[in-house]
Structure 1
Amino acid sequence: MSQKTSGWIMKQTWEDLLFLHWSVNRSWLQSMLPPQLEVDTFDGKAWIGIVPFEMTHIRFRGLPPVPFASRLLELNVRTYVKYGEKRGVYFFSLDASHRAGVSIARNLFHLPYFRAKMGKKREGNQISFWSSRTHKNANKADYHIIYEPVGEAYETTKGNLDYWLTERDRLFIVREHNVYQGKIKHHKWPLQQVDVAVLRDTLSQTYNYHESFITHFSRSVTTYLWPFEKLTKTPGSPIE
């Protein structure tokens, strides 16, 4: 990772991560976004992704990992957007298995996290990952997927679709009509091809899902997260 990591506030390791993406109509996707953000496209196509993974070694800067809160499972639905010349990720939802982690993310970072009952099981290289949303007053969403990486790991090349879908260094949220960015740094994803079987899915129905999807797998990457910055007013001001 060429960028300096000074100033980060949280460190995490993401493990057994699957990217499952499908293309969608650009105009439809724009209607799903806050008006402050613009759909980002690759060769004219807009994309939505579902990303299940395990998060471990979670800690805030200057503090040791908390034993009962240093790992969780997560399942997010995301897309790719622009704010001016800045490109990043926008999350429609993030389901997680840890009640306190969900509460912190919703209240401190204002991200759309939801509590869920989740599980992960590995048999050899095959991973079974399942989730059932339990968050009060939230839409129900169940997801069960089996995936198995195949072939050797490789690094993405800038200009290719797999690089465009995976190598993002910021996320956006919109709160009270203001746009905020949160920067994320990590080494380039070590990606592998992956065989996938979706066994149950009531999560993606809202997002024009179709089975012509593309997939990538990454075994592990360590990430650093920075405080959110407000972009619509004074850059560098902390999230309110």
Structure 2
Amino acid sequence: MSQKLTGWIMKQTWVDLLFLHWSVDPSWLQSMLPPQLEVDTFNGKAWIGIVPFEMAHIRFRGLPSVPFASRLLELNVRTYVKYGEKRGVYFFSLDASHKAGVAIARNLFHLPYFHAKMGKKSDGNQISFWSSRTNKDAKQADYHIIYEPVGDTFETTEGNLDYWLTERDRLFIVRENNVYQGEIRHDKWPLQKVDVAVLRDTLSQSYYYHDSYITHFSRSVTTYLWPFEKITKTTSSSSK
């Protein structure tokens, strides 16, 4: 990352990250979103992604990493939306393996995090990742996937689908009818093609998952997160 970074509040490294995407009907997806947000599409198709990865070297700006809380596993379900001219990520759910991390994320960032029993095991280049949600007030969701990167590392080119699915620099939340954006910065993803076997999946049943999907793998990327800021548009009425 060439530019000097200022104002970020959290730094993380994402490890062994898998993007698994499938296309869905845009009008159906719009019905799943808060009304303030609009579905983003690529060549008329909307997309949902499942993203499992390990989060490491977690620390807040100005503070050292906390040994017992600096690593966790995460599994999120996401899609791509617009708010005016801004494009970004919207999360349906984020499962994580650390109870304190879930509590912090829910209270500080107001994101739909849930605690889950999770595990990750590597055998050479092959990665086995599994998750079982434990929150009593949330829908049960189990997921077990095996994935293995193949081929050379490549970077995406702006304008193609690979870039559109992976290179996003903001995320949105809607709280009390207001829209907030959080900025995320990192170097371009070093991507690889990946072989995938889904062994168990009750996570994607509500999202029209099917066997036709697009996958990408990234070994590691360091990310910086900024505080959420309110960006709700306001309309002023002229006085008479």
Normalised by the length of structure 2, the TM-score is 0.96
Aligned position for 2:230:
230
**Structure 1 vs Structure 2 CA RMSD:** 0.9
Q: Does 1:19 align with 2:43?
A: no
Aligned position for 2:126:
126
Give the counterpart letter for 1:166 in structure 2.
T
- Deviation per CA, 1:43-82: give whole Å up to 9, x if none: 1100000000000000000000000000000000000000
Aligned position for 1:58:
58
Give ranges in structure 2 of 5+ residues lacking alignment.
235-240
Aligned position for 2:161:
161
What's the CA shift for 1:197?
Answer: 0.1
| Partner Cα distance (1:169, 1:29) in 2 | 21
What's the CA shift for 1:233?
Answer: 5.9
| Partner Cα distance (2:3, 2:145) in 1 | 34
Aligned position for 1:238:
none
Q: Does 1:103 align with 2:92?
A: no
| Partner Cα distance (1:205, 1:226) in 2 | 32
Aligned position for 1:76:
76
Aligned position for 2:238:
none
Counterpart contact for 1:3–1:185, Cα < 8 Å: no
What's the CA shift for 1:94?
Answer: 0.1
Q: Does 1:145 align with 2:135?
A: no
What's the CA shift for 1:136?
Answer: 2.1
SS at 1:162 equivalent: helix
What's the CA shift for 1:2?
Answer: 3.9
- Deviation per CA, 1:105-149: give whole Å up to 9, x if none: 001110000000000000000000000000121100000000000
What's the CA shift for 1:5?
Answer: 1.3
Give ranges in structure 1 of 5+ residues lacking alignment.
235-240
SS at 1:227 equivalent: coil
Q: Provide the aligned length of Structure 1 versus Structure 2.
A: 234
Aligned position for 1:177:
177
Give the counterpart letter for 1:221 in structure 2.
V
Report the identity percentage.
Answer: 87
Aligned position for 2:114:
114
SS at 1:16 equivalent: strand
SS at 2:44 equivalent: coil
Give the counterpart letter for 1:150 in structure 2.
V
SS at 1:106 equivalent: helix
Aligned position for 2:29:
29
Residue 85 and residue 233 in structure 1: after superposition, are their counterparts in 2 closer, same or farther (change >3 A)?
A: closer
